[in-house]
Structure 1
Amino acid sequence: MGATEASAATRRHTLVAGLEDRPGVLNRVVSMFRRRAFNIVSLNVGRTHEPGLSRLTVTVEADDHRARLLAANLRKLVEVLYVEDVTEAGAVVRDMALIKVEAPAEQRAELLRVCEVFRARVVDLTEGSLVLEATGDPAKIDGLLAVLRPFGITEMVQSGAMAMTRGASREAEKLGSLTAAA
């Protein structure tokens, strides 16, 4: 496969962005994705250790060129303080899932063994069900769901991915003098 074909291949890209923590900022970011016809595979936004700064982790299906354009367009939004594509950065990527599974007494021991293998925690136990909490990379969560399906998943919710690059933090560099000026 040539360089042009490789860059045109669609794959998942994970972008991390620092956003001003104000009403309407997330709406502006998501509207930009919509206008450019990007399908969001995963979206997670939360507070950071810096007051007034939220961290967005978004996963999209795109070729490398469109992912670069998306990052460039995000950087143009005034409320976006930094953007980094961590797809190739060796980032730690984690999802969290809550999974309710049918758990009659005769299946509980086997279910608990599955939990142990996947390092899932039982967070609620009733006569007929278990609620499990699982964290890990998205492939681990998918694997757990595949193993649990035969038991009878009755409810499931999964967070969007969160990502952080390995090694020394570069967030201060990304923010530049913004925190010093505050």
Structure 2
Amino acid sequence: MNTPTPRTFIVHVEDRPGVLSHVISLFRRRAYNIDSLTVARTEHPQLSRITLVMAADEREAKLLEANLYKLINVLYVEHATPQGQVSRELALIKVRATEETRPTVLQVCEVFRARAIDVTPTSMVMELTGTPDKIDGLIELLRPHGILELARTGTVAMARGARSPLAALLETESQEKAG
């Protein structure tokens, strides 16, 4: 049996009430845990982009992709591979930082190119954009200082290069309607 690995699915859907619920129900019915979920409108106001990260083997991933296509409001599904995508996540990390420990915290954050967006006498809020692994690395190094609060956006991903499968699909549909 194949070992489950992190899988990123980019699901382009109609921007309508209840669509996200239908997509999530598919994962729930199959007892998959979603590790990361982001949803937002796209450059096309009538469309939304759902980015899901979950662990699955190759067979499960193909089955899940096929089942996503069965949902009425799903227009296009990309099963993104690490080599074929760029992915980022945003994290806000509130860490304990006194006058004595602040220089050390800032030094650690500088290595990761994180920046301080809020500073108080007893804490700092750091902002970091990067891969999930990069964010995990900063969290581990800040943990000894005392993480007071942590918020992560979840992964957003996009295919590398100029190709845009959804744009090609929409263009084809537009030409079919016009022709």
TM-score category of the 2 structures, normalised to the smaller one: over 0.9
Residues 65-88 of structure 1 show CA distances to partners (whole Å, capped at 9, x for unaligned) of 000000110011111110010125
Q: Indicate the RMSD between aligned Cα atoms, in angstroms.
A: 1.5
CA shift, 1:138, in A, is: 0.5
Q: What are the ranges of 5 or more consecutive residues in structure 1 without an aligned counterpart?
A: none
Aligned twin of 2:114: 120
- Any idea what SS the aligned residue of 2:24 has? helix
Displacement of 1:103? 0.6
SS at match of 1:99: strand
Q: Note closer, same or farther for the CA distance 1:176–1:35 as it changes in structure 2 (3 Å cut).
A: farther
Aligned to 1:43: 37
* Aligned counterparts, 1:99-110, within 5 A: 99-110=93-104
Percent identity for Structure 1 against Structure 2: 52
Taking structure 1 as the reference length, the TM-score comes to 0.91
2:129 to 135, 139, 142: 135
Matched length: 176
Q: Report the 3-state secondary structure (helix = DSSP H, G, I; strand = E; otherwise coil) of the residue aligned with 2:69.
A: helix
| Separation (CA, whole Å) in 2 of partners of 1:106 and 1:12 | 40
- Could you tell me which residue of structure 1 aligns to residue 8 of structure 2? 14
The alignment partner of 1:177 has SS state of helix
TM-score, normalised relative to structure 2: 0.93
Aligned counterpart, 1:78: 72
Q: After the TM superposition, which of the residue ranges 170-179 and 69-78 deviates more from structure 2?
A: 170-179
CA distance in 2, matches of 1:54, 1:69: 22
Of 55, 63, 73, the residue aligned with 1:61 is: 55
| Structure 1 segment 20-31 matched on structure 2, within 5 A | 20-31=14-25
Structure 2 gap ranges (5+): none
Structure 1 residues 97-152: Cα deviation after superposition (integer angstroms, max 9, x where no partner)? 11000010001111111111101111111110000111100000000000000110
Bigger mean CA offset, 86-95 vs 12-21: 86-95
Q: 1:72 to 1:89 in 2, by over 3 A?
A: farther
Indicate if the aligned counterparts of 1:15 and 1:87 stay in contact, CA closer than 8 A. Answer: no
Q: Judge conservation of contact 1:89–1:165 (CA < 8 Å) in 2.
A: no
Counterparts of 2:95 and 2:61 in 1: how far apart (Å)?
A: 37
> What amino acid does structure 2 have at the position aligned with 1:111?
V
**TM-aligned CA deviation for residue 176 of structure 1:** 5.0
Structure 2 residue 148 is matched with structure 1 residue 154: yes
Counterpart-to-counterpart distance in 1, 2:119 and 2:171: 48
**One-letter code of the match for 2:30?**
R
How many Å separate the matches in 2 of 1:129 and 1:49?
Answer: 38
